Amino acid sequence: MQRPYNFSAGPAAMPAEVLEQAAAEMLNWPDANGRLSGMGVMEMSHRGKEFLSIYEAAEADLRELLAVPANFKILFMQGGGLAENAIVPLNLSRLRATSGNGAADFVVTGTWSEKSLKEAGKYCSAHLAATGKADGFTAIPPAASWELRDEASYVHICSNETINGIEFQSLPDLKALGSKAELVIDFSSHVASRPVDWSRVGLAFGGAQKNLGPAGLTLVVVREDLLGHAQSVCPSAFDYKTVADNGSMYNTPPTYSIYMAGLVFKWLKRQGENGLTGIAAMEARNIAKAELLYETIDASGFYINGVARNARSRMNVPFFLRNESLNDAFLTGAKEAGLLQLKGHKSVGGMRASIYNAIPLEGVQALVAYMREFERTHG
Ligand code: PMP
């Protein structure tokens, strides 16, 4: 069955193969050798051998896919990206503090990093190191202009701003900027779309509901030596050390979401083209998809994307119709053409095509064909 292409920003499209496998295993999960367990994954104890095997495979596959070094812990938590905006400072703000609750610096490139700064201010000294707000969040402030404080334990960036469509094409090298702080990245909306340079990262977090699986699972990847510095008021279930020491089973983890993400990881491992596999194959495909869509927008004169070329997101492509009175007609026609959830975020309006891993090149080809035809008939 050919399903419509779904451009939702999240929760977002899943690979059809993954949904089919989950459906087939819904009532009676079989292990890797095909032995039936007699129960569905939702019904399993998180401490039973069946679920533990699902958990361990998911963690190992993710470690392999993202090339996570051995000195980093992978934590499967709950609460989403917004809870991490509090959990990160509660755990890390005191890393370099001799007294008080410590400090963190924030580079604000859009809605999500702006929220992170505001939330962290409840728990520590949170400082705006740089912002792209004056330009309407259309570019990344150059790293040389960031006001980094000596006392900051970490510098927070959102490496892909889902609403504004801004992506760091490489992670900042804080050491080269003369900073001793750790780099924290919110990679919610581009995790697994490209490799991560872990040599520059202290902690990365992201909700699963864009590129990894269903909502409910929050991924945290943290270097081991950053554990054990939490503020005393940090809830135990959100203390990374407690979570790590208990193999993400201090509290009941989101078992079904972990299982689904595990199926996505297996799907990612099966991807390959032009001699590339896994995340490298996804990255090549994501570059081709994004180039096709941005080229179509730039060549049109009918559609606009105002983001600086070197900061354009490969995952979330916001665009506007010059004649906004055509927005409803565009969306209605898109739906009829099997192109779903293209409406932009309410805070910015216009359109947004989120082209995560589960959207194939054919999905973007169908979208640009529709956009060209709409321009031809309404331009
Ligand atoms: N950070 C980013 C980059 C996001 O895109 C989102 C959700 N769209 C969040 C944080 C918030 O995530 P959640 O809703 O899972 O708390």
Tell me how crowded residue 223 is: count the other CB atoms within 10 A of its CB: 16
CATH 3.90.1150.10 positions along the chain are 273-378
Architecture of domain 273-378: Alpha-Beta Complex (3.90)
Q: Which atom of ligand 1 is the closest one to the Cα of 80?
A: 15
Question: 329-351 burial by CB neighbour count: b if 16+ within 10 A, else e?
Answer: ebbebbeebebbbbbbbeebebb
Residues paired with residue 204 on neighbouring β-strands, in sequence order: 185, 221
Ligand 1 center to residue 275 CA distance, Å? Answer: 33
Dist. CA 273–CA 261, nearest whole Å = 22
ipTM: 0.99
Angle at 295 between CA 293 and CA 297, to 5 degrees: 70
Radius of gyration of the chain (CA): 21
Residues lining ligand 1, Cβ inside 6 A: 10, 80-82, 112, 158, 162, 186, 188-189, 207
Pick the catalytic residue from 186, 239, 289, 343.
186
Cis, peptide link before residue 11, omega less than 30° from 0 = yes
Q: In 3-state terms, what secondary structure has residue 259?
A: helix
CA distances to 38, 128, 150 from 261, rounded to whole Å, are 22, 34, 39
Pick the catalytic residue from 29, 112, 146, 267.
112
Q: Which residues are annotated as a binding site for pyridoxal 5'-phosphate?
A: 112, 162, 186, 209, 251-252
Assign a CATH topology to domain 22-269. Aspartate Aminotransferase; domain 2 (3.40.640)
Candidate from 119, 167, 188 with most ligand 1 atoms within 8 A of CB, to mutate: 188
How confident is the prediction along the chain (379 residues), in pLDDT tens digits per residue?
689 999 999 999 999 999 999 999 999 999 999 999 999 999 999 999 999 999 999 999 999 999 999 999 999 999 999 999 999 999 999 999 888 999 999 999 999 999 999 999 999 999 999 999 999 999 999 999 999 999 999 999 999 999 999 999 999 999 999 999 999 999 999 999 999 999 999 999 999 999 999 999 999 999 999 999 999 999 999 999 999 999 999 999 999 999 999 999 999 999 988 899 999 999 999 999 999 999 999 999 899 999 999 999 999 999 999 999 999 999 999 999 999 999 999 999 999 999 999 999 999 999 999 999 999 999 8
CATH 3.40.640.10 positions along the chain are 22-269
To the query of whether residue 186 is one of the catalytic residues in this protein, the response is yes
Candidate from 8, 76, 78, 82 with most ligand 1 atoms within 8 A of CB, to mutate: 82
